A = this chain, B = another copy of it.
Amino acid sequence: MTITVQARVQNAASHDVDQAMMLEMYRYMLLARALDERMWLLNRSGKAPFVISCQGHEAAQVGAAMALQQGKDFTLPYYRGLATVLVMGMTPREIMLAVLARAEDPSSGGRQMPAHYGHRKLKIVTQSSVVGTQIPHAVGVALAERLRGGDALAWTSFGEGTTSQGDFHEGVNLAAVMKLGVIFQCENNDYAISVPMSVQMAVASVADRAAAYGLPGVKVDGTDVLACYRATRDAAERGRAGDGPTLIEARCLRLTPHSSDDNDRTYRPSEELKAMREGDPVARFRLLLREQGLLDEAAHEQLRLRIAAQVDDATAYAEAAPMAGAGTLLDHVYG
């Protein structure tokens, strides 16, 4: 069963997403973008050796995360999940502490590369760099939930390249067999570093693969935050009702090189890069809000300034915070 979620909301006053929520969504998208852009500046100025972006994925992530219950549902995002973890409760300061590898970084105390999010209190599960390993974890989180009779969901994200891994197959399959409350979000941005989607699979859509596992596969425009919200909300309802997992494919854009170590001009035609900018999910949602009279220029400028101040504060806070110290190297190998 493949479901295609309506890609475009015609009416902001549609009963399921109220105006306050739409503005909240936009705020998170803009915050994620602003933090992300600041990271690149820190990278260029030599302060952050490594940056990996969520630019172009904001709508998919904010839409999805807004449909989850913060503090209750588990998220297992991958390294592009900046917008996800913001919605789930991480603060700009916490993000910047990781970017600058500070001792106070809640994800890892400066041990992991930035963008390897984790935060137990917020039920954001620690991740490694090894792609796809979080998929079985999400299934296990849901399995434990069933064991105790709870109804928290496990939500996990990954790129389309990662669906080539055995762990994707084994994890999705197990969740389908056991009908567990998992939401699998594939953020398909057409590339795995330099490798196009056509090398990862001989089919046109990751969502179509769901049929092979016996779970619903949902295709959604990953630059449309409202469509993403609805897709996840429906999947969450199914999951919480005990009707099993859902595979959501959100078509996203990778607006940056793979990471600060990459140079995508060697493998991406410049017209493609230019064309992509047109689809920028943040600009797109801003336009919608303006068209619908929800956010005029002045209000937008105010929001932008507020966010810039937050980003400045986070950067300053993290820069002033102490580095993770050499003396902690041996801590916490065992409990």
Query: Distance (Å) between the CB of A75 and the closest chain B CB?
Result: 24
Chain B residues with CB under 8 Å of A173's CB are 164, 200-202
**Residue in B closest to A166 when the chains form the complex, CB atoms:** B166
Give the docked Cα–Cα distance between A201 and B170 (Å): 10
Give the docked Cα–Cα distance between A198 and B177 (Å): 7
- Are B165 and A177 in contact (CB-based, < 8 A)? no
Query: Distance (Å) between the CB of A233 and the closest chain B CB?
Result: 23
The segment out of A92-100, A206-214, A275-283 that lies at the interface is: A206-214
How many chain A residues sit at the interface, stated as a range, is: 20 to 34
The digit string for A207-227, where 1 denotes a CB below 8 A from any CB of B, is 011011111000000000000
With contacts A208-B212, A212-B209 taken as known, whether A167 is within 8 angstroms of B166 at the C-beta atoms is yes
With contacts A211-B208, A213-B201 taken as known, whether A170 is within 8 angstroms of B176 at the C-beta atoms is no
Give the docked Cα–Cα distance between A68 and B164 (Å): 30
With contacts A208-B211, A212-B209, A212-B211 taken as known, whether A166 is within 8 angstroms of B177 at the C-beta atoms is no
Main secondary structure of the interface of A (DSSP, over half): helix
**Residue in B closest to A170 when the chains form the complex, CB atoms:** B166
- CB-CB contacts below 8 Å: A228-284 with B: none
- Are A176 and B164 in contact (CB-based, < 8 A)? no
Give the docked Cα–Cα distance between A177 and B192 (Å): 15
Give the docked Cα–Cα distance between A201 and B212 (Å): 9
Give the docked Cα–Cα distance between A164 and B170 (Å): 6
**Residue in B closest to A203 when the chains form the complex, CB atoms:** B214
From B165, B199, B201, give the contact of A214 (CB < 8 A). Answer: B201
Give the docked Cα–Cα distance between A129 and B176 (Å): 27
Instruction: Kindly state whether residue A317 has any CB partner on chain B within 8 Å.
Output: no
- CB-CB contacts below 8 Å: A167-217 with B: 167-170, 173, 176-177, 179, 198-203, 208-209, 211-215
Give the docked Cα–Cα distance between A164 and B176 (Å): 12
Give the docked Cα–Cα distance between A167 and B203 (Å): 19
Chain B residues with CB under 8 Å of A213's CB are 201-203, 212
The digit string for A88-115, where 1 denotes a CB below 8 A from any CB of B, is 0000000000000000000000000000
Give the docked Cα–Cα distance between A170 and B165 (Å): 6
Query: Distance (Å) between the CB of A245 and the closest chain B CB?
Result: 10
Chain B residues with CB under 8 Å of A202's CB are 173, 176-177, 179, 213-215
Chain B residues with CB under 8 Å of A177's CB are 198-202
- Are B211 and A211 in contact (CB-based, < 8 A)? yes
Give the docked Cα–Cα distance between A167 and B167 (Å): 10
Chain B residues with CB under 8 Å of A169's CB are 166, 168-170
Give the docked Cα–Cα distance between A192 and B168 (Å): 21
Query: Distance (Å) between the CB of A113 and the closest chain B CB?
Result: 25
Chain B residues with CB under 8 Å of A176's CB are 201-202
The digit string for A127-171, where 1 denotes a CB below 8 A from any CB of B, is 000000000000000000000000000000000000011111110
Give the docked Cα–Cα distance between A209 and B167 (Å): 17
Query: Distance (Å) between the CB of A239 and the closest chain B CB?
Result: 15
